[in-house]
Structure 1
Amino acid sequence: MAILFPVFVVLILVGVQVANVFHARTVALAAAQKGAAAESAFAAPPGAGEARAAAYLASMGDVLTDWDVVVVPVAEGGGEVIGVRVTVTGTALGWLGMRFRVSQTAYSPIERFTTESSP
């Protein structure tokens, strides 16, 4: 038992750390999705996606630290913007001073008003 106990403790700590990293990835993805939805909304003001993602990350506390939100418009061949891509990058906290970099990206098409075309 004296030999196996430290092994079990290390396995439990590694399991907790892996769960923490996956939770941070989920938070980053949720922030990216919220940012993409806000930025692509009909008549959204510039910077709405970054502000929404930042507000969500701030509300989640220290799950993700040193985070950065990057909003990139996606254009098709003619130069018309058809969507937006939001990438959230940050650091997941770990035990014993370990840090893990996580990054998640979400895409959303731009909402626009269209009319039915005549035949």
Structure 2
Amino acid sequence: MTDHPLCEPCYAQARRTALYSVLGTIPPGKVVSYGQLAELAGLGRAARWVGRILSQLPEDSRLHWHRVLGANGRLSLASGTPSGEEQRARLRAEGVQISADRVDMARHGWRPVEHSG
């Protein structure tokens, strides 16, 4: 094992991999905030970075980017835009209720729990 830090491209890829791994575990009908996703992926307070990375996903990505919302359940993609309408349609198809461009995080928020043996 070496004691030198990861090269920058390796570090960036490791962060993306951690993000995508957690994103893939969010169940249908549940949502998280950008900040919560960053924290769950071990990335600290990187909410803006998470948003930037998700905005760069290829159009045919199979990752469930639509389950990630702004703080307090706010939909951050504007209504009337193709991506905003797609997010709303995907969430509604999963049974997530949207009211005034917000999702009730108490009802639909994902809170993973650690299982003890």
TM-score w.r.t. length of structure 2: 0.30
Determine which structure has more spread, i.e. the larger CA radius of gyration: 1
Q: TM-score, normalised by structure 1?
A: 0.30
